[in-house]
Amino acid sequence: MSTITADTPGTATVTRVERREPAPIPFTRLLSVELRKSFDTRAGFWLMASIGIASLLATGAVLLWAPDSELTYSTFATAIGFPMAIILPMVAVLSVTSEWSQRSGLTSFTLVPNRSKVIAAKAGVTVGISVVSMLLAMAIGVVGTLVGSAILGISPVWDAGFVDLANIVLAQVLGMLVGFMLGVVIRSSSAAIVAYFVYSFALTAITEVLAATQDWFANLQPWVDFNYAQGALFNGSLNGEQWANLAVTGVVWLVAPLTFGLWSLMRSEVK
């Protein structure tokens, strides 16, 4: 039987040295921490590495199998764009959802209670990664074009101008933001990834069928279908109406749900 020997300290006589108030955490620090968190797990590292790997594979595939007449820069750019359109949104989804699915948010949001700052840093890193990845992809495309033309013994064909490339980067950034939005709204890795595929692939198939069979929808589609409106970005420069289509559908399919998601994320319970 153990008896308790309470050392009844009375009121605390020990006083701590008065502390200086700590400086607030600068936003740049959060950006660097979030960037680090995108790379520091095995899954995160390979997801990032796969951006480069997939670009190289796509370039190699074009060199091997594309008809000689199509060994132009735009062919390479398009081929590299396909894997990017899948990988980049996954990076965006996981940067948000892992805080909930892996429950690391308990620490993240305790160290930085202002959740909007953490989410903004994630958004900044997300956009940064997509722009850098696309620049990398374009550089690989340049190499592919040069190698292709050298093999054929022709002069390289640069059939994509600055506007085309800028539009493609914008399309990839939008795709990544869609992933980010779904991550914010759903906050579960597996569900958000499934939702992304439904959103950008299943939905596209459905609207295509609908547009092909229903005239009223075919007329309406540019104003209601975000995927369709984004498609224009891959076909050269956009006219005023196409930009308007993109803006209207973007507000409905991206900005509105993202706003709702952020609103609910700020109020939710982190468990």
What residues make contact with another protein under the rule CB under 8 A?
A: 1-4, 6, 8-9, 11-16, 19, 21-25, 29-30, 32-33, 36-37, 40-44, 98, 102-114, 267, 269-271
Tokens representing 103 are 């429950």
Q: Least distance in Å: CB of 28 to another protein?
A: 11
| Alpha-helical segments (H) within the chain | 27-39, 42-65, 73-101, 105-111, 115-152, 162-186, 189-197, 203-213, 215-224, 226-231, 240-250, 256-267
Q: Least distance in Å: CB of 48 to another protein?
A: 13
Contact 177, 96 (CB under 8 A): no
Q: Least distance in Å: CB of 16 to another protein?
A: 4
- How far is the C-alpha of 238 from the C-alpha of 233, rounded, in Å? 7
Closer Cβ to another protein, 31 or 136, answer by number: 31
Closer Cβ to another protein, 48 or 157, answer by number: 48
Closer Cβ to another protein, 12 or 64, answer by number: 12
Closer Cβ to another protein, 153 or 271, answer by number: 271
Q: Least distance in Å: CB of 238 to another protein?
A: 41
- How far is the C-alpha of 136 from the C-alpha of 123, rounded, in Å? 20
- How far is the C-alpha of 160 from the C-alpha of 145, rounded, in Å? 12
